Amino acid sequence: MAKLNQIIAVEKGIKSKSVQQLAESQKNLQKTSLFSGIARTYRPKDEDGEQLPPESNKVQVKADAIIRETTEILAKLFDITATKDWTNCHARADVVVDGQTLLTQVPVSYLLFLEKQLTDLQAFLKKLPTLDPSETWNFDPNSDCWATEPIQTLKTFKMPRNHVKAEATEHHPAQVEVYYEDVTIGYWRTVKFSGALPQARIHELMNRLEKLQQAVKFAREEANNTEAEEQRVGAKIFQYLFP
């Protein structure tokens, strides 16, 4: 008996073939001349009149044949899809992470949903900001975020000073050069705050996510290994539609 994963593997090919067949059938249905035929024979009015050969054109396409060919391939599509959907109703598996069962008997459709959501969540985690590694951070409960140790820096003021290069004389004034000296006038106490996360925390979250992703994939593979519940619904549908 076929497995669900085998049914899924062939479904795409059958669906593609049915789409092509339906398109081809619709194309042929538009060629109205192919459905028409004619047979003509000529009899002159007088026995010694001109004899003309008969003319004929056979019907090349029959609607019943197109219906039969189209419904045959569509019935296969209906059957394979029904088999997949019926089997999906009881295709389930547990999601197990590090030996612990996180979710029990999860339907395969939900496992597919989880895979997509976890991929989106992975992209979200990659965008989380991380703390500047050049700083030392500690969590500050008062501010409810991360903070650095206080750093003290000086507040300075450039104080002008005079430097006498030459004393004044009877004939010349003193030569004075002005320079500036940094004078401490106060102290800055600086603490940096951040709402980002430590790199180790990001790494831990990514690691847990990757484990869950792997567990979900394993569960999906296990669920897809369920024996297919073969369905034959196509014939019933088309027997009703085209008795």
pLDDT digit string, tens, across residues 210-232: 999 999 999 999 999 999 989 99
Helix H or strand E segment including 178:
strand 175-190
The pTM is what?
0.69
Residues in contact with 100: Cβ distance below 8 Å, sequence separation at least 6, in sequence order: none
pLDDT digit string, tens, across residues 64-114: 988 998 999 999 999 999 999 999 888 999 999 999 999 999 999 999 999
> What distance in Å separates the CA atoms of residue 3 and residue 6, rounded to the nearest whole number?
5
Query: Please, what is the average pLDDT of the chain?
Result: 91
Residues in contact with 184: Cβ distance below 8 Å, sequence separation at least 6, in sequence order: 154, 155, 156
- 144: left (phi > 0), else alpha (psi -120 to 50), else beta? left
Tell whether the model's pLDDT for residue 164 goes beyond 80.
no
182 DSSP β-pair partners: 158
Tell whether the model's pLDDT for residue 139 goes beyond 90.
yes
> What distance in Å separates the CA atoms of residue 178 and residue 146, rounded to the nearest whole number?
47
Q: How many residues in total does the chain contain?
A: 243
Give me the helices (H) in 89-230, please.
108-126, 199-223
Provide the percentage of residues in the chain whose pLDDT is more than 90. Answer: 60
pLDDT bracket for residue 167 (50, 70, 90): confident
Provide the percentage of residues in the chain whose pLDDT is more than 70. Answer: 100
Closest by Cα among 45, 44, 61 to 53? 44
> What distance in Å separates the CA atoms of residue 91 and residue 80, rounded to the nearest whole number?
16
Q: Is 107 helix (H, G, I), strand (E, B) or coil?
A: strand
